[in-house]
Amino acid sequence: AQSVAQPEDQVNVAEGNPLTVKCTYSVSGNPYLFWYVQYPNRGLQFLLKYITGDNLVKGSYGFEAEFNKSQTSFHLKKPSALVSDSALYFCAVPRAVNDYKLSFGAGTTVTVRA
Amino acid sequence: NAGVTQTPKFQVLKTGQSMTLQCAQDMNHEYMSWYRQDPGMGLRLIHYSVGAGITDQGEVPNGYNVSRSTTEDFPLRLLSAAPSQTSVYFCASSLRLPSSGNTIYFGEGSWLTVV
C-alpha cells in the first residue's frame, strides 16, 4: 500500500518567518499527493495537490508545496507564517491504485507565535 | 456553495441508543465516505459508497450501517452506541477516485460522545 510519513509531530515558528511542514511518500508509479489543514473543532480543508507537471504547487491561503522525486518528498511551505496558520496539517496519498481511500500521515501541529 | 454538509455538529448519546449522522453533498460527486478521527489513530475509513445503491465496508465498519439511496445523501447509522464509538466523524466526497487525482472534500465534522 502507498503511504506518507510526517516526521515532525510539532513545528513552532515565529510570525513572519518561513514555515515548512515535511512529508515523505512511498508510492508505486506516479504519485498523487494532497495536503489538508484542520483548524480546532473544524473539518479537514483541502490546501493543494500534486498530480503532474510543475514541481512547485500553489494552493490556498498562500501555501505552496514542492514535489521532489529524488527525495520522495512533498513538503508544504509558506514564506511568511501567520498566527492564524496555527493548525494541524496532514499529508495524504491514495492508499493504492484504483482505491478510494486516502492514507494520511500522522499530522503535524503547527504553532505560530506572535 | 455548501459542499459537504454534516449534522449534527455535537451529540451526546447513552450507551445502547441509536442515532443517524446525516451527510449531504451538492457537488454531484460519485464517491462518498465516512471516516472517524481518534487521537493517536489518525483517520480511519468506516464505510464508503461509489454511487447510489452501492456501499462497502472500510477499515472499521462494525457497529455502523450506511445506505446510499440518492447521489446527494449518505447517512451513517449507529445501531447501538458504545463508549468506543466516542469520536469525531467526518463525511467526505469526491467526484471520482483520488487515485486518479480527484480531491476528497470533507464535512465540518460531528463530535459524538457516548456515555
Among B6, B98, B107, whose Cβ lies nearest the Cβ of A102? B98
pLDDT band for position B96 (50/70/90)? confident
pLDDT of B1 higher than 60:
no
Q: What are phi and psi of A6, to 5 degrees?
A: -115, 105
A39–chain B Cβ distance below 8 A for any pair? no
Alpha-carbon distance of B7 to A101, in angstroms, equals 22
Query: Who contacts B62 (Cβ-Cβ below 8 Å, separation ≥6)?
Result: none
Chain B residues close to A46, C-beta within 8 Å? 103-106
Task: Pull the grid cell for residue A98.
Answer: 484504483
A106–chain B Cβ distance below 8 A for any pair? yes
Chain A residues close to B38, C-beta within 8 Å? none
Looking at residue B58, what DSSP letter applies? -
pLDDT one-digit tens code per residue, A17-74: 999 999 999 988 778 999 999 998 888 999 999 988 889 999 999 999 999 999 999 9
A99–chain B Cβ distance below 8 A for any pair? yes
CA distance A48 to chain B (A): 9
pLDDT one-digit tens code per residue, B5-59: 999 999 999 999 999 999 999 999 999 999 999 988 888 999 999 999 999 999 9
Residue B11, strand partner residues: B112
- For chains A and B, what is the number of CB pairs under 8 angstroms? 61
- Which residue does chain B place closest to A52, by CA atoms? B101
pLDDT of residue A92: 94
Cβ–Cβ under 8 Å, residues B44 and B38: yes
Phi-psi region of A53 (alpha: psi -120 to 50; beta: other; left: phi over 0): left
CA distance B82 to chain A (A): 22
